[in-house]
Chains A and B, each alone.
Chain A
Amino acid sequence: MTRVHDMGGRFGDGPVVPDAKGDPVFEKDWHARALAVTLASGALGKWNIDVSRHARERLSPKDYTRFSYYEKWISGLADLLVETGVLTLEDLKGEGGDAPHPLAHKAMTAEAVPSVLAKGGPADRPSNVAPAFVVGQEVRTTRPAANRFVDGGHTRLPAYAQGALGRVLLRHGAHVLPDSNAHGLGEAPEPLYAVVFPATELWADAESPDDEVVLDLWQSYLEPV
């Protein structure tokens, strides 16, 4: 089983409400602050993008549902800071000391911001896992959609696409495997593919028989047909 964040295909969410032309990038000042605190904390080097995604996903379903978007970010960040030993529970309660932190030398400076953003964090890696599939080949996704290393762990195969029959559309080279990287088990890079599925394969009542959904899927999510 996956978690509450895995909502693709879910019923009952109501209309999508587009924004208006000229709406600000950040609806509220604290949204901007939450994004910036999260990005700046990443510079401390205590986690990777897969760990941080998983920190948001394992908020309790109750919290995940009631929190707004940036509340999830800030809450996931607080949990990570404690779990990685950067902050203590006393610190979060406002009862910790103000002594300089051993990681303070890693703090992102204003001058470093452009270069940090420009550098990014590419996920492609050399891999000794040979590609098993070619473009055009039929493949089936594993079922159930689940992390195979850690019970309840991070995975990027959505439940709506588990056990589905598709066709390889693009090869992306080898990328870091989130299922491993989110849990400190190494980057374990392996081939990544864009796989196309007919909407009729995924949904009981597809809007049109010609429509399709494409997902980026790692080789270990796929089986030959």
Chain B
Amino acid sequence: MRRMPHDDHDHPHALLPPEPALRVKALETILTRKGLIDPAALDELIDTYENRIGPKNGARVVARAWTDPEFKAALLADATPVVADLGYYGRQGEHMVVVENTPEQHNMVVCTLCSCYPWPLLGIPPGWYKSDAYRARAVREPRKVLADFGVTLPKGTSVRVWDSTAEVRYLVLPMRPDGTEGLSEDELAELVTRDSMIGTGLAGGPS
């Protein structure tokens, strides 16, 4: 058994300014001056996740699954190539599994150890997903956590919580809301909330 070489010492990060915004700025400045990062690349990364990659991608996948049974079957059998065909592949979405909500079973996704999340389909996770409260409680008391989101499941629905402990990323396929038979795929996509694809919400429902 090896010993950890860097454990129980003062950490180098303590040398940076304590205030977090200044801490980030200091590190960015040091790395930029040495040519190790390019501020234009940082702007591009931020613009990508602020404006281009987000839950609209996942919503398109869900709406398509609601309207196209063959697509849905392929998605549930092996999601990665199916969503990649739509252009949704890449960092934090290399191994996708889609899990379907039914009247009998509700699915919900968490990462108790860090903040794993399917970036190409949902973007950067919201603050609550990364919070201690969600990470600690979602596995032990998912129904109370759902209540924090205003969601109560019908009697007879069991809950299956997926703890993302590896590089596999999970997306919930929510149930299609009643009364949406006449809607187009684009209109249906509008009903697919981010939270419904994490499992803390229902499609067409709150948040």
Contacts and interface: CB of A to CB of B under 8 A. Distances in A.
A188 interface: no
Contacts of B24: 30, 33-34, 37, 70, 74
B41 A79 contact: no
Contacts of A114: 44, 48
Interface of B: 1-4, 6-7, 11-13, 15-16, 20-21, 23-28, 30-31, 33-38, 40-46, 48-50, 53-54, 89-95, 97, 110, 112-115, 123-124, 126-128, 130-137, 139-145, 148-149, 158-168, 195, 200, 207
Nearest to B52: A114
Given A6-B112, A25-B50, A109-B41, 16 more contacts: A8-B136, A16-B128, A16-B131, A56-B114, A60-B11, A78-B12, A92-B12, A107-B35, A150-B2, A151-B1, A151-B3, A158-B112, A158-B165, A211-B161, A212-B159, A216-B163
Contacts of B139: 8-9, 160, 202, 213
B6 to A, nearest CB: 6
Q: For chain A, which range describes its interface: under 10, 10 to 19, 20 to 34, or 35 or more residues?
A: 35 or more
A6 to B, nearest CB: 6
A113 B52 CA distance: 13
Interface in A30-70: 30, 32-37, 39-41, 44, 49, 53, 56-60, 63, 67-70
Contacts of B149: 16, 18
Nearest to B134: A16
A154 to B, nearest CB: 10
Interface string A14-32: 1111110101111111101
B171 to A, nearest CB: 14
A118 B90 contact: yes
Contact of A207 (B21, B133, B143): B143
Nearest to A209: B158
A158 to B, nearest CB: 5
B148 A15 contact: yes
Contacts of B97: 170, 194
Contacts of B112: 6-9, 158, 160
A18 B12 contact: no
